[in-house]
Amino acid sequence: MLGSLNSQIDFTAYLDHYEFQEPCVVENRESGMNNTTRIITSGDRKYVFRIYNNHKDPDIVRLEHEVLQKLNEQELSFQVPIPLYNKYGDSVTLAPDGTLSALFDYIEGDRPSMANERHIYALGYTAAKLTEALGRIEPIRKPMYSPYYSLEETYASMDLDSFLSLAVRSQALEARKPGILALHGERERLIQSCRELALLPQQWIHGDLVFNNTVSHEDNIVGVLDFEFATIDARAMELAVIIVDMIKPGDPDFQSKLKVLLQGYQAGIQLTEEERKQLPALMKLRLLDVALHFAVRLRDNLDKAEILCGIIDQSLFGCNWINDHWEAEYK
């Protein structure tokens, strides 16, 4: 028996693959761009159920689950999801149409707030400790995603002409052609830097560690979620991703918050001088990767044009801010 709260999806076909002790209730919660997420309650137990919308490759999910297993074998100051097995002994469930899903134990807590400086500091410190933990794992499976510094190979199909061709989708995108050209200029200048970034210390990273992928309790970060994009990359890329997530054009206080984040990170781990030097390039890589990722999603009719408009604005703001402020204030 399956109940539902604010849900438009029939989850019965998915959840029938699992053995629950009591009837389930599906609760609608905030989902990301790449997945559909629901909270499942069965008696006094709660779970997180995820449907993968971004791909239908079970090897990507199995690698994610192996990384989580390796992390759960360590003593951590925070929790990471524990994948649960279905009736057939697999942590990945395949629907008839090829859609993939997985079930995890629920991590109690709330979303951290960027308005809380203690949450910001805790996120920096947790990111450092996660970097240490990921540096100790050696999964059998190989990375499924390319490192950020392979931007040109990853997005070879989304060259300047392809990006500009998307402008016909809306007047708002047409008006952002100068922004697309400016981002392409940043992309061209990063090509040489990517060769240097490939020489930085490498290890497994989360790859998408941002506020929305963590869980807090009081002033602490108690959980890190969504390891779907875990891969081997430059170690310092983890910090670059978090910094970029905080560069918000609508937040007049983000610069002071960045300093708190860096204090937390540096309390947990010290980067090399070369890693610190290359942080601006790593940050721009993240901004460009996100812009190109959403350009591909629009090309493939997975998003609406206004989503890419917002991404272009934020990516361009971030690149300009890094050019104007990072060296003088954060080096």
Q: DSSP letters along 89-133, please?
A: S-SSEE-TTS-EEEEEE----B---TT-HHHHHHHHHHHHHHHHH
Residue 273 and residue 146 in one domain: yes
pLDDT per residue rounded down to tens, the chain (331 residues): 344 434 466 777 788 899 888 888 888 766 556 688 899 999 889 999 999 887 889 999 999 999 999 999 999 999 999 999 999 999 999 888 888 999 999 999 999 999 999 999 999 999 999 999 999 999 999 999 999 999 999 999 999 999 999 999 999 999 999 999 999 999 999 998 999 999 999 999 999 999 999 999 999 999 999 999 999 999 999 999 999 999 988 888 999 999 999 999 999 999 999 999 999 999 999 999 999 999 999 999 989 999 999 999 999 999 999 999 997 677 6
Of 105, 133, 159, the last residue of a domain is 105
Residue 63 and residue 155 in one domain: no
CATH code, 46: 3.30.200.20
CA distances from 22 to 1, 3, 106, 174, 245 (A): 9, 12, 16, 53, 40
The residue range of the domain holding 14 is 2-105
Residue 99 and residue 132 in one domain: no
Rounded to two decimals, what is the model's pTM? Answer: 0.90
Total tally of structural domains belonging to the chain: 2
